[in-house]
Amino acid sequence: MTTDNSKYEKMLTTLIEEAKKNLSKVDEALLIKAFNYSLEAHKDDIRASGEPYIVHPYSVAMIILEEFPVDDITIASALLHDVVEDTDIKIDFIKKEFGKEVAEIVDGVTKISGIFRGQEINKAENYSKFLLSIVKDIRVIFVKFADRLHNMRTLEFVNPDKQRRISLETLEVYAPLAHRFGLGRIKWELEDLAFKYLNREAYEEIARKLQTKRKDREAYIKKFTAPIIEELDKLNIKYEISGRPKHLYSIYLKMIKRNKPFEEIYDLFAVRIIIDSDNPTICYTVYGIINLIYSPIPSRFKDYIAIPKVNNYQSIHMTVYGPEGRRVEVQIRTRKMHEVAEKGFAAHWKYKENRTNIDKELENWVNWIREIFENTTNKDDARKELIENFKLNLYQNEVFVYTPKGDLKRLPVGSTPVDFAFEIHSKIGHHCIGAKVNGKIVPLDTPLKTGDQVEILTSKNHHPNKNWLNFVKTSKAKSEIRKWLNAEEQEIIQKGKEIWERKTKKLKLNFSNEDLMRIIHTHKYDNSRQFFKAIAQGSLNVDEILTAKKTKEEKDKQNDLDFNKFADIARGEVGGILIDGKKSSILYDYAKCCNPIPGDPVIGYITIGEGIKIHRKNCVNLINLSSIDPSKLVAVQWPETDSNLFVAGILIRGNDRPGLVRDISHSIVTYRNTNIRTFNISSNSPIFEGKISLYVQNLEHLNGIIERLKKIKEVTFVERFENEL
């Protein structure tokens, strides 16, 4: 810097003076070097306002001295914060010339600036969290807030599109973030400046109305405070009393929320009384004085001194009816409480933002910061402790990673490249075959870290793996993987079903739904899906099942032959059938639908060409036929035998066990001295099946035997030996 450049000399002199005023220790050489280096680096740069670029880093440094006077390292970093971003100078050079701390702060500010370049503003909350998660030095945030504040103060010099983009970003990212840090004054100024460029008409209307009412408002506040001041002075209480300013954007939000015009927003009258004492009891004295002067509104009283908010905010809030019946909101607090509320980190962010899901870690952090400032007698010690020990790890349950194009994605901690792939698009996830993280190929189950840049490698022939479910974290990834696995399983099930149908068709076998479900449950499957899947995968021998079915059908055919033989014998023993009570030469035959045997109540039905068909009287087919033409019914009966006995057959099944044959035969012969004609039991462990023929007196006799057999343990099925069995 040349000696005749008085303008820059004056800027530097002012900077040094403010630093000495606000900081306990100042390395003048460091600040002079940083100022001169920034001036040289930006010598060819001009701001949109037409001013030399050095005005911007200088203004940022001055804002920091006013709002967060931490140390000279922060001031030097503010002076250099755009050097790496806007020039060819590398961060390593900054580290060499100005030290590690300055380099880290400048690097952090540069990274934050890069985050928002070209990003969608609707993801603002993601970026707020990302910003907090990557910053390891609180001073980076200070510089960035000051940088944004100065840019907003000079936004009038850029084009309207850029004004709107930057204002929207400020309103949705930086203002809420400032609020979380308890930086009330910065938040309000950022909001009002952003509001000005986003809705200039509303901004100017509210500003005009405030200005119009300013004198009236000031006069009213003076009238309201006069009797309070008189009483406080009588008690020699040291205080500061003033009208509390209402910010334009805050007024606008209230108008929108309450759907009321400017004139009806009643709490434009607000007074704050700050007591110059650390004794909170004086606040209650002041509260009592105001209650004696004006009528309080009980529902509008809140004592945050006796019961502080969760973030340790303390103040008395009250609303009273002032002169002319107007409502006036009053806040009473000590100087210490005011500093914490206005400039400290424990701002009342939870109270004002009406958040339903407050981040507990952030809340705890705010309390911790407040304790550092309030419990340390030496402010320099507090600042040192804050700088050396504080780490921002507020969002340990989330990571923020980039696509190769720089798009930001928020994922749960522990998320892997597979989660990232599905977050981008379902198709990318389905065909994911590998991943590069920060340019290096990594396993798909590698946990991602905040700041990672992830590239997904895909193949059209690759699909989700069941093992992915063991390490993915996002519900979207899990859902998509399961969906694909279910679709793949359905293909396997269909393949198994086709195998089953092809083989059953070849063997000319038919299965009813009941038959199929019996087989499924016999082989310990819950449903047909599991059954057909097992067939397709080869874990179930379908040929063995079908061979057994084929054997059973052949056995059933033999049973039919046995029954026909048995029926012929039974019918022969009684001498056939009587038509109208006598033997007749009329052609007759026994109906296959109900297979009547001696002992069954029977009736005949005259057919065309086949003579008379003998049916059981309860035969369904007979009932249907007779309803059509009852004139074709003929009375028939079995002849009476000398012994008055006829032959009946029983089919019996169950689970085999020792002594079962003995129990069956004993149960039969002990019932009315029944005689067994034939007894045939076969066992195919653990199942047995038997056919028994015996002499019975009538159907009552036969049914009694059947009921006795059903009561035998392990017997599961007993029925008359008939064709359909």
CA dihedral for 534, 540, 542, 546, sign (positive or negative): negative
Judged by DSSP in three states, 698 sits in coil
String of DSSP letters for 435-498: EEETTEEE-TTPPP-TT-BEEEEE-TT----GGGGGT---HHHHHHHHHHHHHHHHHHHHHHHH
Amino acid at 450: T
Residues paired with residue 653 on neighbouring β-strands, in sequence order: 689, 717
Residues near 685 by Cβ (< 8 Å), separated by ≥ 6? 656
Please give the Cα distance from 273 to 287 (Å, whole number). Answer: 10
Contact status, residue 94 vs residue 168, Cβ threshold 8 Å: no
- Read off the tokens for 547: 């061979």
CB atoms within 10 A of CB 75: 31
- In angstroms, rounded to a whole number, what is the distance separating the alpha carbons of residues 221 and 235? 21
CA distance 339 to 167: 28
Q: Which of 160, 176, 156, 168 is nearest to 194 (CA)?
A: 168
DSSP string, 186-202: HHHHHHHHHHHHHSHHH
Q: Residue 169: CB partners within 8 Å, gap ≥ 6?
A: 116, 121, 124
How many residues are listed for the chain in this entry? Answer: 725
SS3 for 278? coil
Question: Strand 646-655 to strand 715-720: parallel, antiparallel, or no bridges (unpaired)?
Answer: antiparallel
Assess contact for 350 and 385: CB atoms under 8 A. no
Start-to-end C-alpha separation, the chain: 113
Of the candidates 85, 455, 663, 722, the residue annotated as catalytic is 85
Tell me the C-alpha distance between 614 and 589, whole Å: 6
- From the list 27, 86, 455, 689, the catalytic residue is 86
Query: Rounded to an integer, what distance in angstroms lies between the CA atom of residue 516 and that of residue 531?
Result: 10
Residue 428 phi, psi (nearest 5): -60, -45
CB 262 within 8 A of CB 255: yes
For this structure, is 86 an active site residue?
yes
What are the tokens at 314? 């303390």
Half-sphere exposure of 251 (CA within 13 A, CB side): 24
For residue 269, which amino acid is it?
F
Tokens at 266, concatenated: 């009643």
Eight-state DSSP code of residue 174: I
The CA-based dihedral angle spanning residues 205, 211, 212, 215, taken in that order and rounded to the nearest 10 degrees: 160
Active site residue 85: yes
Active site residues: 85-86
